[in-house]
Structure 1
Amino acid sequence: MRDCYSKPNIIPVFRGATKSLLGQTISAGDFHGKDGLGDAPHPDAPGLDLVQKEGAVSAMIRIVNENPGEVSLVATAPLTNVALAVKLDPTFPQKLKGLYLMGGNTDSRGNITVCGEYNFAADPEAAYIVLNEFICPVYIASWEFTCRSELPWAFCDGWLAQDTDKARFMKQIFKQIMESSSSNKTQGFISCDSYAMAAAIDETYIIETDHKAVTVELAGNFCRGMMVVDHLEILKKTHKAHILKKVDLEKFKTLMMNALK
C-alpha cells in the first residue's frame, strides 16, 4: 500500500462543482463508504493539498482546446461539470473525439428514485443539457445494461487476488461493496462505471448498440431525472446516442484484469 501512494507519477485531480446546477441534492447513501473509497483510510494517502488550483471545468475546456479531436471524455458521475463546460464554451462538444457516459436508464428502472438512475437524477438539468447539446459521438452505459452484464463472483475473486499493489488497494476499497452486493444475492458484481471506461479504451468490445435519440425528463412526481429513449423518433432529433446493448464480456474481463496488473 505504501508503494502505491509513494510513486511520483500522480494523475492530476481537479476540483469540480459542489452542487447540481439548481443546487438541489440527492444522497447516494454510503454504498461506496462515507469517504467514497470504502472507508479504507491509509496514513500515506494523498491529501487535498495535491488537488490542482485550476478548476475541473476550466481544465476540461483547456485540455480539449489544446487537443481538438483527440480527447475522449468519460463521465461516471452526475454531469454538472460537463454541462458547465458546454455553457462556458459552446464549441467544447464538437472538439471531443467522443463522450462515454455511465448513467441514465432505458426501462424506467431506477436505483435511487422510482424511475431515476443516480447520476442523472442527481442533476437532471445537467444530463438534459449534455444529451441535447453534445454533437460528438455519445456512448451510454445505462443502469439496466450494467445490471445485465455483471461479472461472475469467481472472476472477481481472481481479479482481486492478483499479487500487485493495485489489486490489494482495489480489494480493500471494494470490500464493503462486494459484501453488500453478495448479500443481495446478485449473480455477480456490477462494475457500473467500468463499462463506459472500457468502451472509451477499446470500442471493439462493443458488440451491439441501440442508436436512438435521447433526452431527460425534468418534471413529474416520479419520473424527474429519467432518461427518455425516443423509439418512435417523435423528437425529430438529428443527433442520436449509442446505447450499449451487448458487449464482449471476455474482452471486458481482460481489460479489468490488466487494469490491476
Structure 2
Amino acid sequence: MSMRADRGVMLAQAAAVLGFFLIWEVASRSGLADPRLLPPPSIVLPKVVELLSEGEFRRHLWVTIQELLLAGIIAAPLGIGIGLVLAESAYLGRAFKPFFHFVAAVPKSVFLPVFILLFGIGFGQKVAFGVFQALFVLVIATSAAVAAVPEELLRLARANGATRRQIWLEIHWNAMLPLILEGLRLGMIFNIAGVIFAEMYVSRAGLGQRFSTWGESFRMPELFAGVLIAAGLSIIVNETLRVLERRAGAWRSS
C-alpha cells in the first residue's frame, strides 16, 4: 500500500511538472506572453544542455557550488551549536532567543551592502552571506528540536539509571535529529538563495553573476535556462536532505 501511495505521489508530481511546462509553452507560442520575455521551454531546455556543455559556464557553476558547500559546512555546526546552548540554558535562551527570532523575520537582503563593505566582493563575501542566511533558521530549528524531545522518555531513562551521556546519545539525539535535518534542509535553501543573490548584486563569477549579465543583455533563453539549472541544484540538495530526514525519523512511525 505504501509503495502504491509513493508511486501515485510521484506520478502526480511528474504530471504537475509536465503541466507546468505545457502551460508555459502554450502561453509563449500563442502570444499570451511575449516570447521575447518568456521564451518557450522548447527553446529554453536545449539551452540548458548547451550551457552545461560549456566549460566557461561550468566554471561559474563550480564557483557557486564551492561557495554553497563551504557556507553549509560553516553554518551547520555553528547554528546547531548555538541552538543547543540556547535550549539548554534557560538564562541564555531568554536573553538571546528573541534576537534570533527578530533577525530571522527581517529580509536578509538589506544586510548585503554591509557584507560587501566588510568582506569585499570576492569568494569570502558570498560564503559569509550564505552562512548568515542559513544560521538563524538552524538556531531556531535546533532550539525547537530540543524542546520537542518527549519528556516521558527522559523520565523513564532517568528512572532506569541512564547517565547524562546515554540520555543525550540514545534519546535526545535520536529525537532531535529529524527536526535538525529539517532545519538544515530549510537553511540550505536560504543558503542557496543568499549566495546567488550576492553573486547577482556584485561578483566576478558564479551563477548569480551570469544571471545578472544575461538579464542586462536581454538574453532571455540563457537566463531562464540558468534559472532552471539553479532550481535543479536546489531540488537535489532539498531532496537529499529530505531522504536523510525521513530515515532519521523512521523510528517515530515504527
Short-chain TM bin: under 0.3
State TM-score, norm by structure 2.
Answer: 0.22
State TM-score, norm by structure 1.
Answer: 0.22
The structure having more radius of gyration, on CA atoms, is: 2
More strand by share: 1
More helix by share: 2
Greater RCO, CA 8 A, separation 6+: 2
